[in-house]
Amino acid sequence: MQGKTAGQNSNNNNKQKIHDMMSKHSNRRKTVDKIVSIFSIACVLAAIIPLGSILLEVIKNGALAISLQLLTQPPGAIGATLEDSGGIAPAIQGTLIVVGLASAIGIPIGILAGIYLSEFGSSTGFFPHAVRLFNDVLTGLPSVVIGIVGYITIVVTIGSFSVLAGAFSLSIIMIPIVVRVTEETLKIVPNSIREAGYSLGISRWKITLFVVLKSAKSGVLTGIVLAISRIAGETAPLIMTILGTSLFFTNFDKPIDALPLRIWRLASQPYDTAHSEGWGAALLLIIIVLIASLVLRLLVQRKGFRVKTLHV
Amino acid sequence: MKKICGLTIDEAIHDRLLKVEPSKKDRDYDQVLYKVSIRNLDGWFGTKQVLKNINLDIKSNVATAIIGPSGCGKTTLIRCLNRMHEMTPGATAKGRVMIDDIDIYDKAIDPVIIKRRVGMVFQKPNPFPTMSIYDNVAAGLKLNGIKDKRLINDIVEESLKDAALWDEVKNELDKPGMGLSGGQQQRLCIARALAMQPEVLLMDEPTSALDPIASSKIEELVHELKKELTIINVTHNMTQAARVSDFTAFMYLGELIEYGPTDQIFKNPQKELTERYISGKFG
């Protein structure tokens, strides 16, 4: 009887103590809460201000330069007056072709490798482990080095700077990003969904493609958009692979121009008209990436809830 | 005529259910007495044995409940009946499981095809998240290559009716399956399994995530469904086992302790362990 009362007393004491401690800390907690919020807002600003100012500067200088001539004409003579200076049309065409071709190579390989790592490569096996490691290393590889690889493997082999070499190099930059994002997104899809598929006697590849990948598509798409934006702005690997030219596309084994290359060429000229065209080209590149990502998102969202048509 | 999972042997070979040579098809199968017969079944997760020499015979068109404390191997046992167990990395099973007169662990059997004949409903409702109600039910058929739209429409309607969900969803078949309530989602999963026209339906604690009203709907369903198929139901809920099942199996630590008509198990258990579990003294 006495023991029980003593126990209850100590329980009450503990309760009291805990309440006291919590109310003592509640003021401090509110302050800490505020400090953390302010700090995180400050960090957001620190990230946005440089980005915003770059964007503003590009728009300010680039918007004036954009004209029908810039969009449709090949480059004119260096140092010519504005009327004769031509445009950047081959660069626009080249960027679309090289990035498009690189995506056509890189996206399927990246997605399939990501599917392998998430769905088929056991987490303990040696091979998947090695693939994951090399993939991470590849993500951090300087793009110049990838350009040299493109130069040695393709440019030297076929004896010419070419669209193919450029697309090859850019796809190598693209693949590890797509692989990583695909793997991580597929891993989030709950296993119960896969089991539901297995329990219906559906083969594994169909479940992976039509159920698992479909559930994860918005994440995979984010990876693709990220990878496209990344390669659209690459310059270094292009210098060593597509070289750059003032002419329009002729063939896949011939040099071609691209917007980042053209921006770099224009910026290194000592003429104001060239600089202005460079700003215009930079703005165009941003707009192209923006449109590409919007179009991809729209495409997937619209298809997001199509019913009664499981295309098999 | 010898039958395998409801198919004649020729049909089974044609359906790739059996990978055997046509010349071997006249193997002498024993006469079918039970829908499901489990013989000397052992199951492992890695080196840990979770099923120990299970022997169990289940008659056609009855509901059988498997009861027992957590971790006793109930779920593993039913996952062995459609070869789902071995899909977990490191999990293995050894022994014989006969469905009709075919050993589903026979090397000639493709485990994918067994799953089309033995349906499964899981503990938590798991409709396909990107699919509509209609597509959830049709997915098994469509992804298994059936293209006849009228046939699919008919089966979707029939399955949803059999799962007692049709009246609630018939006007919103194109809404997402995830938008339904938990109980409706579970009945959607039952409809999805029924669409494959299984002969055995495995239910792994199908009501444990549901409220009492949704649970009682599923229980009523079991009564209806067993007219058409054989139901094996794992449950934690002993009153549910007593209400819905014709036979009850009690498992403990990976072993089958007692199996018999539900009345007998609950009113007059033969083993002391069963009696103590039923009366709530442990578990």
Q: How far is CA B76 from the centre of its chain?
A: 12
Residues of chain A neighbouring B89 (CB-CB closer than 8 A): 122
What is the structure's pLDDT at A6?
Answer: 57
The residues, any chain, with a CB within 8 Å of residue B150's CB and separated by 6 or more, are: none
pLDDT higher than threshold 50 for residue A220: yes
Q: Is A223 helix (H, G, I), strand (E, B) or coil?
A: helix
Query: Is residue B16 assigned to a domain?
Result: yes
pLDDT higher than threshold 60 for residue A33: yes
* Tens digit of each residue's pLDDT (9 = 90 or more) over A132-175: 999 999 999 999 999 999 999 999 999 999 999 999 999 999 99
pLDDT higher than threshold 50 for residue B138: yes
Quote the ipTM score: 0.83
Query: Is residue B75 assigned to a domain?
Result: yes
Q: With beta carbons less than 8 A apart as the criterion, state whether B225 and B161 touch.
A: no
- Chain B contact for A196 (CB, 8 A cutoff): yes
- Chain B contact for A303 (CB, 8 A cutoff): no
* Tens digit of each residue's pLDDT (9 = 90 or more) over B158-173: 999 999 999 999 999 9
Domain range enclosing B52: 3-278
What is the structure's pLDDT at B154?
Answer: 93
CA pair distance B189, B206, nearest whole angstrom: 10
- Chain B contact for A61 (CB, 8 A cutoff): no
pTM for the whole structure: 0.81
Do A200 and B112 make contact, defined as CB atoms within 8 angstroms? no
Q: Is the dihedral of CA B23, B24, B30, B36 positive or negative?
A: negative
Do B143 and A195 make contact, defined as CB atoms within 8 angstroms? no
Q: For residue A303, what is the nearest residue in chain B, using CA coordinates?
A: B130
The residues, any chain, with a CB within 8 Å of residue A122's CB and separated by 6 or more, are: A128, B89
Q: For residue A190, what is the nearest residue in chain B, using CA coordinates?
A: B126
Q: What's phi and psi for B32, nearest 5 deg?
A: -75, 120
Name the H helices within B60-165. Answer: 74-80, 111-117, 133-142, 149-162
Query: Is residue B190 assigned to a domain?
Result: yes
CA pair distance B33, B60, nearest whole angstrom: 9
Do B196 and A200 make contact, defined as CB atoms within 8 angstroms? yes
Q: With beta carbons less than 8 A apart as the criterion, state whether A163 and A242 touch.
A: yes
Pick B129's closest partner by Cβ from A193, A201, A206: A193
- Chain B contact for A191 (CB, 8 A cutoff): no
The more confident residue out of B140 and B18 is: B140
Name the H helices within chain A. Answer: 2-65, 68-72, 89-115, 126-139, 143-150, 156-158, 163-188, 191-199, 204-206, 213-215, 217-232, 236-239, 259-267, 272-304
**CATH code of the domain covering residue B126:** 3.40.50.300
Overall domain count for chain B: 1
Pick B89's closest partner by Cβ from A122, A192, A196: A122
Q: For residue B147, what is the nearest residue in chain A, using CA coordinates?
A: A312
Beta bridge partners of B58: B36
Q: With beta carbons less than 8 A apart as the criterion, state whether B19 and B110 touch.
A: yes
B22 CA to chain A: closest CA distance, Å? 24
Q: Which residues of A93-133 form beta strands (DSSP E)?
A: none
* Tens digit of each residue's pLDDT (9 = 90 or more) over B27-81: 434 444 688 989 899 999 999 999 999 999 898 889 999 999 988 999 999 999 9
Pick A206's closest partner by Cβ from B143, B189, B196: B143
* Tens digit of each residue's pLDDT (9 = 90 or more) over A93-130: 999 999 999 999 999 999 999 999 999 887 778 899 99
A312 CA to chain B: closest CA distance, Å? 7
Query: Is residue B145 assigned to a domain?
Result: yes
A230 CA to chain B: closest CA distance, Å? 29
Read off the pLDDT band of B16 (50, 70, 90): very low
Q: With beta carbons less than 8 A apart as the criterion, state whether B69 and B252 touch.
A: yes
